[in-house]
Structure 1
């Protein structure tokens, strides 16, 4: 009987969503709509560059700054919210990398970085540490997202999209490499993970 009581104390009701979580959830719905549009726009071949896709993705990208602002203003900043936000960000990048892959196939490198990073955490516990705040990480991620979103607009010449996406992918790969190097260094200095 004591085990049942102890277990009951550990179980907690899920916390209700915060206002920032609702903004992030709305962004997630926009990303899902983008994901549904990619194959529809790409039906003609040559990539999924279309105005509806760009409009929805642009709104999801712009709202990325709003959820953090709302969390800070309402004093509801949480690790759960940060994880939800990074998941929506990573999914948006993946979807938009698929959208421009017909023009710039290397966009998939940028799109797959976040899911691969999350998968590696299963086998490499050292990568589960909370990364220190780095403004440069946000700049690199925002640059890649914006480049993919804007590059999906159908009026850009393919060469311009290829060069811009190539530079943005290189920037975010460099940022990821810095984070992985830090995680590996910390695993040697302090082997225990959070």
Structure 2
């Protein structure tokens, strides 16, 4: 899920009276337990749903704890990203029960839309507070990739689209794996509004495709536009990396 974090050397000056990263990660776990437990109590989900949600969050928390180097906690921007990670983990847990997603598609879409909204807030907070960092950018990007994969798996699980939709979710991971074989693909890319816009459209298109009023044919067209945009974006980046390879 979050296999793509890289170690960064960002250092923040030590600040007193700030919660530790561990405390914030444990608070996030509490959020997963509350939301997952609420699903079990209110919707009658099985323990497998909560178990998968906790396992997904545990992976996220382990990687954040491993690669976050600041001594004074995550900071507000990363806390918002972590809150989004809590939602994504709970949504991932729902994959254990495809019928649950089908029966409560509007609830699933609302939670996903909230995660998408938070995606726009964390970057704004980072800029406003002057706390933007390489770790925060990586955290945000990899959570986006995981979120998109969860939505693709949800569309497949409810039978609305075929396995081809997974190409949207795994393309990012395939790109990183290719970078192990061809190191020039692993070079840093310049910031790009194009990538962010395409990411937002991917999430929006997949969310729309999941809604009950959207028939499978239209859902397929929406997902196809997301796949086309993603393919073109990766092609542009690959060409740029190749031209600038040393």
From 67, 71, 86, give the equivalent of 2:126. Answer: 71
- 1:96 corresponds in structure 2 to 151
Alignment-derived partner of residue 81 in structure 2? 24
Moved more, 123-132 or 175-184: 123-132
Name the TM-score, length of structure 1 as normaliser.
0.83
1:112: which partner in 2?
A: 170
Pairs aligned (count): 176
**Any conservation in 2 of the 1:24–1:85 contact (CA below 8 Å)?**
yes
Within a 5 Å distance, the mapping from 1:76-155 to structure 2 comes to 76-101=131-156, 102-105=159-162, 106-155=164-213
1:20–1:48 Cα change, 3 Å? farther
- Measured after TM superposition, the shift of residue 117 of structure 1 is 1.9
Cα shift at 1:48: 8.5
Partners of 1:90 and 1:119 in 2: CA distance: 14
Bigger radius of gyration, 1 or 2? 1
Q: For residue 166 of structure 1, what is the aligned residue in structure 2?
A: 224
Unpaired segments ≥5 residues, structure 2? 1-8, 12-67
Distance in 1 (CA, whole Å) between partners of 2:179 and 2:139 is: 17
Measure, in 2, the Cα distance between the counterparts of 1:160 and 1:107. Answer: 13
The residue correspondences of 1:26-41 to structure 2 (distance < 5 A) are: 26-40=83-97
Unaligned runs of 5+ residues in structure 1 are 1-9
The 3-state SS of whatever aligns with 2:130 is coil
Cα distance in 2 between the residues matched to 1:170 and 1:49: 29
Alpha-carbon distance, 1:179 to partner? 0.8
| Structure 1 range deviating more: 49-58 or 161-170 | 49-58
Moved over 3 A (4+): none
1:2-17 matched pairs, under 5 angstroms: 14-15=69-70, 16-17=73-74
C-alpha distance in 1 between matches for 2:174 and 2:150: 15
Whole-Å Cα distance in 1 between the matches of residues 112 and 128 of structure 2?
25
Partners of 2:96 and 2:105 lie apart in 1 by 11
Relative contact order (C-alpha < 8 Å, sep 6+): which is higher? 1
8 Å CA contact 2:94–2:100 kept in 1: the answer is no
**Backbone CA RMSD of aligned residues:** 2.2
Distance in 1, Cα, partners of 2:81 & 2:103: 24
